[in-house]
């Protein structure tokens, strides 16, 4: 099992996680994915890549270092993004009852292992 697959496996084991992807932030393309049916990986990658880019620039505008973790919360669940090295971002789409605290910790740890 590759490092990327191990990372995705760890994240998708967290209760409530519907799927996880590794994306390239700059172009919003999927590098690897592990998704439940009904989750559109390409849309998740493109939309999250764009949002991450904007929020990185926002942090720069406030003279902050780039964010390590981003959480977009909606009525019916959330998109979580942990920024890794080399422009890679670990993304998870989670349901409304997901254990967000555990997902965050797993993702921060797992993102640091991406290469």
Partner 1 sequence: MTDDIRGLTARLADEPGSLAFLELAEALRRRGQLEAAHKVARGGLARYPGLADAHDLMARILSDQGDLAGAFDAWASALQLDPMRTSALKGVGFLYFRAGESAAAMEHLQRALEVDPDDVSIRQAIARLGPARPDPPAGVADATPAPATPPPAVTPAADSPAEATPEEPAASGPFDAVDGGERGLLLVDASGLRLGGRLADAPGDPAGDRVAAQLAGVSREAARATRLLGLGAWHTIALESPDGHVVLTPASAETVLVAAREASLPMGRVTLLAERAARSARAWLEEQS
Work out how close the CB of 48 gets to partner 1 at its nearest, in angstroms, rounded to a whole number: 7
Is residue 81 packed enough to be buried (19+ CB in 10 Å), middle (13-18) or exposed (0-12)? buried
Roughly how many angstroms between the first and final C-alpha of the chain, as a whole number? Answer: 15
Asked whether position 16 contacts partner 1 by CB under 8 A, the answer is: no
Site mask, partner 1, residues 74-113, x = CB under 8 A? xxxxxx-------------x--------------------
CA distance 91 to 82: 7
Asked whether position 12 contacts partner 1 by CB under 8 A, the answer is: no
Work out how close the CB of 17 gets to partner 1 at its nearest, in angstroms, rounded to a whole number: 13
Total interface residues for partner 1 by CB under 8 A: 36
Asked whether position 36 contacts partner 1 by CB under 8 A, the answer is: no
| φ, ψ dihedrals at 36, nearest 5° | -75, 160
């Amino acid at each position: 099992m590759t490092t990327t697959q191990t990372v995705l496996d760890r994240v998708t084991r967290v209760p409530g996680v519907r799927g996880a992807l590794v994306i390239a932030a700059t172009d919003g393309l999927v590098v690897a994915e592990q998704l439940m049916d009904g989750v559109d990986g390409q849309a998740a990658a493109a939309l999250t890549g764009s949002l991450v880019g904007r929020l990185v620039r926002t942090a720069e505008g406030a003279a902050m270092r780039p964010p390590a973790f981003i959480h977009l919360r909606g009525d019916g669940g959330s998109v979580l993004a942990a920024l890794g090295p080399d422009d890679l971002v670990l993304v998870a789409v989670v349901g409304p009852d997901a254990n967000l605290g555990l997902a965050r910790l797993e993702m921060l740890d797992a993102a640091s292992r991406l290469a």
